[in-house]
């Protein structure tokens, strides 16, 4: 399984997936680190970081991508890039549902993408 290093590469790999039933599972959720990075009241009114998780899958193969998002402009840019996957059925799922499907496909990476080697 190839591991994409960018959203563009994720889209490229997704377009190459073989099989039927092309589906793009999408999860967007707040990312809350276990410990406060800056325990200061100045951050109390800040915007929570979001993580968008994507799983493109068919009956035969799958590819996964997760990316932190800080504002609506970044979400809009992601949607523009994902337009090339218009032929995929899209489903918005919970993180648990996405992880279950990811494990069913044999993908077990559970963290935000690793830095490029």
* CB-CB neighbours of 59 under 10 Å: 13
Give the model confidence (pLDDT) of 63-78 as tens digits: 999 999 988 899 999 9
Give the model confidence (pLDDT) of 91-117 as tens digits: 999 999 999 998 888 776 544 444 333
Residue closest to 82 by CA, chosen among 5, 2, 25, 21 = 25
Question: 15 and 57 in contact (C-beta within 8 Å)?
Answer: no
pTM of the full structure: 0.78
């Amino acid at each position: 399984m190839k591991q994409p290093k960018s959203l563009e590469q994720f889209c490229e790999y997704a377009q190459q997936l073989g099989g039927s039933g092309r589906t793009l599972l999408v999860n967007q959720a707040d990312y809350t680190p276990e410990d406060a990075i800056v325990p200061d009241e100045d951050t109390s009114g800040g915007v929570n970081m979001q993580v968008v998780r994507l799983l493109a899958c068919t009956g035969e193969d799958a590819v996964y991508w997760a990316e932190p998002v800080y504002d609506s402009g970044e979400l809009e840019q992601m949607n523009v890039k994902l337009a090339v996957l218009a032929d995929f059925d899209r489903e918005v799922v919970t993180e648990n549902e996405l992880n279950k499907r990811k494990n069913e496909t044999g993908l077990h990476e559970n963290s935000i993408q690793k830095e490029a080697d």
